[in-house]
């Protein structure tokens, strides 16, 4: 590894350690990662808040923060458009980290998470993988991180993983960041429409379960 890469790696590690330290310092006990708490942390960094938000989003699986909390936080802090861009950026980094960790350490991840999502993914043919992952990502019925770990253990390629994750996560990110942006107007017609769309997305797995031939088209 070149000296420049070593310095960048060391700097990245120091930044992560500093953010985790600040998160811990904010609370005597384990931090409660709700929208208000994340907003407070991000805004406390001033102009660096964007990078901090993306970084927190990137290490979110290891802080055990639910994806919906981060999605909504992005909308509250940055608005729908910017929040969606920053959230999706951090989400793809977090997903990639989870994917490669599971691929590198397959045995422990299999023991921890079992074969629940791995068996679903491995049951798909190579032509079905992207559409199958899209359904898992777009529906709130599937937990985000276990699917990433299962994908890393499976036969899926990283390219397929990125395409399926990006396409499936995009609509959810937009919808949830919009809800965050409209947090003070939660009973408006627009937000009610978003809730209806999220409900429809939650039913996607049942649609494909009843019509599996849809994967083969």
Q: Quick one: pLDDT at residue 76?
A: 94
Containing domain of residue 137, as a range?
Answer: 32-216
pLDDT at 217: 45
Residue 204 has pLDDT above 60, yes or no: yes
| Integer Cα distance of 160 and 151 in angstroms | 10
- Residue 24: inside a domain, yes or no? no
Cβ proximity of 170 and 88 under 8 Å: yes
4 is a domain residue: no
Task: Tell me if 20 is assigned to some domain.
Answer: no
* pTM (two decimals): 0.77
Among 14-28, 123-137, 180-194, which stretch is predicted with the lowest mean pLDDT? 14-28
Asked if residue 25 belongs to a domain, the reply is no
When pLDDT is cut at 50, 70 and 90, the band that residue 16 belongs to is low
pLDDT at position 97 over 80: yes
Rounded Cα distance, 60 and 90, in Å? 9
For 113-124, what is the mean pLDDT? 72
CB count within 10 Å of CB 12 equals 11
In a domain, 10, yes or no: no
| pLDDT per residue as tens digits for the range 104-118 | 888 887 777 666 667
Asked, for residue 7, whether it belongs to a domain, the answer is: no
∠20-26-29 over CA atoms, to 5°? Answer: 90
Does residue 135 fall inside a structural domain?
A: yes
Per-residue pLDDT at 49 exceeds 90:
yes
- How many structural domains are present in the chain? 1
Q: Which of 17-26, 154-163, 177-186, 201-210 has the lowest mean pLDDT?
A: 17-26
CA distance 106 to 110: 6
| 13 occurs within a structural domain | no
């Amino acid at each position: 590894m070149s000296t420049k890469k070593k310095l960048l790696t060391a700097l990245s590690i120091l930044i992560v350690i500093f953010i985790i330290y600040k998160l811990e310092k904010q609370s005597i006990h384990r931090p409660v990662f709700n929208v208000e708490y994340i907003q407070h942390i991000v805004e406390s960094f001033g102009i660096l808040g964007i990078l901090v938000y993306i970084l927190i989003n990137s290490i979110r699986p290891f802080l055990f923060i639910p994806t919906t909390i981060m999605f909504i936080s992005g909308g509250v802090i940055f608005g729908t458009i910017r929040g969606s861009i920053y959230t999706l950026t951090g989400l793809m980094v977090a997903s990639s980290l989870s994917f490669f960790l599971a691929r590198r350490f397959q045995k422990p991840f299999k023991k921890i998470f079992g074969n629940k999502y791995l068996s679903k993914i491995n049951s798909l043919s190579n032509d079905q993988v992207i559409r199958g992952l899209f359904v898992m990502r777009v529906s709130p019925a599937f937990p985000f991180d276990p699917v990433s770990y299962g994908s890393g253990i499976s036969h899926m390629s990283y390219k397929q993983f990125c395409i399926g994750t990006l396409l499936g996560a995009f609509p959810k990110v937009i919808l949830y960041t919009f809800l965050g942006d409209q947090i003070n107007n939660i009973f408006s017609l627009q937000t009610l429409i978003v809730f209806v769309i999220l409900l429809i997305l939650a039913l996607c797995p049942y649609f494909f379960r009843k019509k599996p031939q849809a994967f083969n088209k």
